Amino acid sequence: MERATPSSEVKPADYKTLQQFTSNSADPQLLQYLFRQQSLGKRRVRNSLPLAARKKKLGVGFYATRYESPQTSHLTVVDEQRNAVSLTFTLNYGFGSGVVVPGTGILMNDEMDDFAAAPGVPNVFGLVETEANAIPLASALCAIAPRKTPLSSMTPTIVTENGHLRVAVGAPSGGNIITQVLQILLNVLEYKMDAGMAVSAPRIHHQWLPDELRVEPFGLEALTLAELQRRGHRIKQTKPWGNVNSIVVTPDGTLEGAADPRGEGSPRGL
């Protein structure tokens, strides 16, 4: 195996390269602004776009990401016979283990981080394994040992109804994948949202430790937040998260595809 080494020189993208990765490449003001910002070393464009560009609602989703995400990846595919694929795959985090298979350029993942290295020590996503997960008497599901499989929150999901495909969904995003997928399923199956609305709806997340309820801006009504706080919940409002991809089969058999406006994906039909 070869260990990856950082480049000795990092060059900012030129104007032509930036144009290739900008969905609104027809707008010269936005392109000039992005080029100026990336030259200053800024990797994201949020609410700092020029006023004229903001009025035109330029950019992608909530954050207009302009770099390759280091996260887990997910894709969802359904063909005309309703065969479905929900595939989540990962290096675990940016550049994985930093080990490249010789002659291939393929990076090896770093799923060792999903084992319990020691009781009470969080992994890179803040997930904490308990004492029970590190001793043989308690099955040691996440302890580092031969023939063990590390813990994973990846949740590629296919739902059928009366023997027919209903929903295919999945997401990247570490420890909050499970709650993302659950909320999409509830939105579609219980609250009767279409695919786009289900994926776009505000989200909440709790993973036991840290003991806090993460809420997207405007994710819960003010009265609901006040009542949760009264009951002792710690509320943490954060920027939107996730990059869900979902395909829903409607009652009339139509396929609805939706990509998360928080991410860089997009639905396509062929």
Q: Thinking of the domain 73-93+153-259, which architecture would CATH place it in?
A: 4-Layer Sandwich (3.60)
Backbone angles phi, psi at 12, to 5 degrees: -65, 150
Q: Which of 20 and 73 is assigned the larger pLDDT?
A: 73
Q: Which is it for the CA torsion 195, 199, 203, 206, positive or negative?
A: positive
pLDDT band at 227 (very low <50, low <70, confident <90, very high): very high
Cis link prior to 122 (omega < 30° from 0)? no
Closest CA to 82 of 198, 195, 166: 166
Backbone angles phi, psi at 40, to 5 degrees: -85, 0
DSSP-H helix ranges across the chain: 15-20, 28-39, 51-55, 177-189, 195-200, 222-230
High-pLDDT (> 90) share of the chain, %? 43
Give burial (CB, 10 Å; 0-12/13-18/19+) of 48.
exposed
Q: What is the pLDDT of residue 264?
A: 81
Q: What is the pLDDT of residue 86?
A: 98
Catalytic residue among 17, 22, 65, 72: 72
Q: Which of 160 and 107 is assigned the larger pLDDT?
A: 160
**Per-residue model confidence as pLDDT tens digits over 142-181:** 677 787 777 788 999 999 999 999 999 999 988 899 999 9
Active site residue 72: yes
Question: For residue 236, what are its two tokens?
Answer: 């943490």
**Where are the chain's structural domains?**
13-55, 73-93+153-259, 94-150
Determine contact, residues 90/108, Cβ cutoff 8 Å: no
Q: What is the pLDDT of residue 111?
A: 84
- Rounded Cα–Cα distance for residues 245 and 84 (Å): 13
Give burial (CB, 10 Å; 0-12/13-18/19+) of 221.
exposed
Average pLDDT, the chain: 77
Determine contact, residues 257/247, Cβ cutoff 8 Å: yes
E strand spans, the chain: 2-3, 73-78, 84-89, 99-101, 106-107, 157-161, 164-170, 204-205, 213-215, 235-237, 245-249, 255-259
Determine contact, residues 115/150, Cβ cutoff 8 Å: yes
CA angle 120, 152, 212 (to 5 degrees): 50
Q: Is the per-residue pLDDT at 96 higher than 50?
A: yes
Q: What is the pLDDT of residue 17?
A: 52
Most confident of 75-84, 95-104, 258-267: 75-84
- List b or e across 88-124, with b for residues whose CB sees 16 or more CB atoms inside 10 angstroms: bebbbbebbbbbbeeeeeebbbbbebbbbeeeeeebe
Query: Model pTM?
Result: 0.70
High-pLDDT (> 70) share of the chain, %? 64
Mean pLDDT of 1-13: 49
Question: For residue 38, what are its two tokens?
Answer: 């990336």
